[in-house]
Homo-oligomer: A and B are copies of this chain.
Amino acid sequence: MRQTKQRNAILGSIRSAEGPLSIAQIHGRAGEKIPRLGIATVYRAVKALREDGEIVAVDLPGEEPRYEAADIGHHHHFCCRACGQTYDLGVCPVGIPRGTMLPGGYTVEDHSLTLYGRCAACEA
């Protein structure tokens, strides 16, 4: 993959974020460094970075897709209802190992948990 100032700015904004970013957020943050940054460039760069394994998509219920660095590992997210920001969490309170079969015959491979509430700044 070719190194350009646009992609550097895009990947940099994702890496330096406190949680996963939406396309609009990436465009806003990277756009501070690259004036006239096209939204299509963001979409294309995000797609390329995903295929390259640099970043992963984070889909949260009822939210537009967000993206974060791929090397973070299994974790979940906290979504602040006051400010709308999404944060990474370290905890995983879901005790369902891969391969578990639930009543009804559902074989679990994976799970996604999102917590909702108020972040420290908004709670104050």
**A interface residues (Cβ-Cβ under 8 A, vs B):** 57, 59-63, 65, 78, 80-81, 87, 89-91, 93-96, 102-120, 123
- Tell me, rounded to whole Å, the shortest Cβ–Cβ distance linking A98 to chain B: 9
Tell me if A108 and B117 are in contact (CB < 8 A): yes
- Tell me, rounded to whole Å, the shortest Cβ–Cβ distance linking A67 to chain B: 13
Q: With A87-B104, A90-B103 known to touch, is A96 a contact of B110 (CB < 8 Å)?
A: no
Residues of B within 8 A of A96 (CB): 93, 115
Tally of this chain's copies: 2
Tell me if A91 and B103 are in contact (CB < 8 A): yes
Tell me if B94 and A120 are in contact (CB < 8 A): no
CA distance A87 to B90 in the complex (A): 28
Tell me if A118 and B107 are in contact (CB < 8 A): yes
- Which residue of the partner chain, among B59, B60, B89, B107, contacts A106 with CB atoms under 8 Å? B89
Q: With A59-B61, A61-B61 known to touch, is A102 a contact of B123 (CB < 8 Å)?
A: no
Residues of B within 8 A of A120 (CB): 104-106
